[in-house]
Amino acid sequence: MSITVGKVIRCKAAVAWEAGKPLVIEEVEVAPPQAMEVRLKILITALCHTDVYFWEAKGQTPVFPRIFGHEAAGIVESIGEGVTELKPGDHVLPVFTGECKDCQHCKSEESNMCDLLRINTDRGVMLNDGKSRFSINGKPIYHFVGTSTFSEYTVVHVGCVAKINPAAPLDKVCILSCGISTGLGATLNVAKPPKGSSVAIFGLGAVGLAAAEGARIAGASRIIGVDLNPKRFPQAKKFGVTDFVNPKDYDKPVQEVLAEMTGGGVDRSIECTGNINAMISAFECVHDGWGVAVVVGVPNKDDAFKTHPMNFLSERTLKGTFFGNYKPRTDLPIVVEMYMKKELELEKFITHEVGLSEINKSFEYMLRGESLRCIIRMDA
């Protein structure tokens, strides 16, 4: 048994004291896990756009001071009462959403939206007792989406921890905790493009490129990338994108451009921007009779989706997805195996690497649009 079991651990963490201000490396105290909780030693984490969005405090109730981070990989240090599926030493991925395995969503084969552990961006405390497991000099430092992986140690609900193959390289599979799985699953689990089909991807950021990777794996013959930034096009070729469309280059709606390119519309489309007009275009660009459009991006709260009902009556299908329809504990270990079998390529998503002491550089890279994923080594 580890000498730290049942004791408070002091470790380094990158703390966000205020919205939009650089993170500060602090010594924090991490309490032991309570019932149905697990304390993890985080070895690798990565920066996702969602971290940046909430660090900037855009559009939600700001919660500070806070430890961000939700794409990561680590090892179980200790477990709380009632935890039976994990043991110290297990290799795991903490996930921002969970799978309690008891609610109606978890028992359904069609849903991954757990009633108990579904993402909650405003909650900065643990479910068990409504308190934080992080503190500095007795004052609480708040959690972020139940993970807070910008800390050398963190405490997570057991339902938000996926046990994975111990042979998997943690500095690669860590990025499966959020955006990459979201885009990949949107294609493979929801759009389900037949082999030889045409697929349009709206938005060529990390999530969009993961959707393109899914289309490549599925055997799509034509993958059309749609983006307003032509600088993204050369990189997208690595992910199987065969054609590129910049809506700015045309004096007609992009859905008409795509219909002309493909003889009536694409077979599948995946929208990864959060822009309401892109969502409408993604739906209206699919072929009548069998076309399926999948919405991945999160719109503004006041947006309204407007299209003519005949687009539905013409047998086009519109779907939405959350985390690529993956159940975290059940499905993420399978996605890791896809990487281990060389079916899924992850290296091309990782564009930068820094140590924890340089974590603010990762924010700079993303804000400048230079990185897909910057991984952060906790021991560097």
What is the average pLDDT value for the chain, to the nearest integer? 96
* Catalytic site residue from 71, 77, 152, 284: 71
pLDDT number for residue 61: 77
Put simply, whether the predicted model's pTM sits higher than 0.75 gets the answer yes
Q: Quick check: is 49 catalytic? A: yes
CA–CA distance, 44 with 379 (Å, rounded to integer): 9
- Overall average pLDDT of the 196-202 stretch: 98
Q: Which residues, in sequence order, are CB contacts of 35 under 8 Å at separation 6+? A: 80, 81, 82, 128
Helical H segments across the chain, by residue range: 49-55, 104-107, 170-173, 179-185, 206-218, 233-236, 254-262, 276-284, 310-313, 328-340, 359-367
* Catalytic site residue from 160, 174, 178, 272: 178
Residue 23, token pair as written in the block: 């993170």
Q: Quick check: is 242 catalytic? A: no
pLDDT number for residue 379: 87
* Catalytic site residue from 4, 26, 29, 118: 118
Q: Quick check: is 178 catalytic? A: yes
Given a cut of 80, whether residue 60 has pLDDT beyond it is no
pLDDT in tens, 224-252: 999 999 999 999 999 999 999 999 999 99
Residue type, 223: I
Rounded alpha-carbon distances, angstroms, from residue 82 to 5, 31, 87, 178 = 15, 17, 12, 27
Residue type, 110: E
Given a cut of 70, whether residue 59 has pLDDT beyond it is no
Q: Quick check: is 70 catalytic? A: yes
* Catalytic site residue from 45, 50, 97, 149: 50
Beta-strand relationship, 139-141 and 134-136: antiparallel
Q: What is the DSSP letter of 369?
A: T
* Catalytic site residue from 29, 103, 242, 317: 103
Helical H segments across 29-177, by residue range: 49-55, 104-107, 170-173
* Catalytic site residue from 39, 66, 70, 216: 70
pLDDT number for residue 62: 83
Contact call for residues 110 and 182 (beta carbons, < 8 A) = no
